[in-house]
Amino acid sequence: MVTLYDYLPSGNGYKVRLLLSQLGVRFRLVEKDIMKGETRTPDFLAINPNGRIPVLELEDGRRLAESDAILFYLAEGTRFLPEERLARAEVLQWMFFEQYSHEPYIAVARFWTHYLGKAVDAEKTERGYQALDVMERHLGVRQFFVGERYTIADVALYAYTHVAHEGGFNLVAYPNVRAWLGRVASEPGHVAITRRQFG
């Protein structure tokens, strides 16, 4: 059985939990409380030198960090990753967008407001809305991010978009994004970020 090192409120961890659930893959969950620095101990740094969850540990002990890389690994050969060359690259395009233009603002704003109780600076909020604007335009003529079907690009972007309000983002002006959130949530095998029991 694979092992997932994770922190349950984490959207990055949730991406992996969501896909594992949708794939019907059973896994062992090892919780690391990032608020207590549990990913920065020597023991955990030996697991991931970058000191962050999620980390997937395979049955043979090999490990993989970075949520979107884990999604890509797990989705290979499944309906969650297209086979066609350009479509695969488009999935990567949206996952890189998520990591560079979306997560650093929308996830970080959530962490600061919801978990640290601190104010978020205006620039982060503005950049977060810019990412939402990009998504809103793209979804204006599409049901999903790539190839008109649900893929790991949707999983990656859903994780923090559906809890963006916890970082102070208001999605009222984003009807296409809201409709897409609903479509993703109604995919078979969907689990909530708050789910604590797996397998």
Ligand X SMILES: N[C@@H](CCC(=O)N[C@@H](CS)C(=O)NCC(=O)O)C(=O)O
Residues lying near ligand X in the complex (CB under 6 A) are found at 7, 10, 12, 34, 39-40, 51-54, 66-68, 99
Task: Give the DSSP letter of residue 36.
Answer: G
Residue number with CB closer to ligand X (71 or 137): 71
Cα separation, 188 vs 198, whole angstroms? 16
Residue number with CB closer to ligand X (53 or 91): 53
Cα separation, 107 vs 23, whole angstroms? 25
Residue number with CB closer to ligand X (22 or 67): 67
Q: Which residues contact 149 (CB under 8 A, 6 or more apart)?
A: 79, 82, 143
CB of 84 to ligand X, least distance (A): 25
Q: Name the maximum alpha-carbon separation found in the chain.
A: 48
Q: Identify whether the C-beta of residue 26 lies closer than 8 Å to the C-beta of residue 1.
A: yes
Cα separation, 13 vs 6, whole angstroms? 6
CB of 98 to ligand X, least distance (A): 8
Nearest residue to 179 (alpha-carbon basis) of 151, 158, 156, 152: 158
If residue 3 lies in a helix (H) or strand (E), which one and from where to where?
A: strand 2-6
Residue number with CB closer to ligand X (71 or 139): 71
CB of 9 to ligand X, least distance (A): 8
CB of 67 to ligand X, least distance (A): 4
Cα separation, 142 vs 144, whole angstroms? 6
Residue number with CB closer to ligand X (54 or 128): 54
Nearest residue to 61 (alpha-carbon basis) of 72, 49, 73, 47: 47
CB of 5 to ligand X, least distance (A): 9
Residue number with CB closer to ligand X (68 or 136): 68
CB of 137 to ligand X, least distance (A): 24
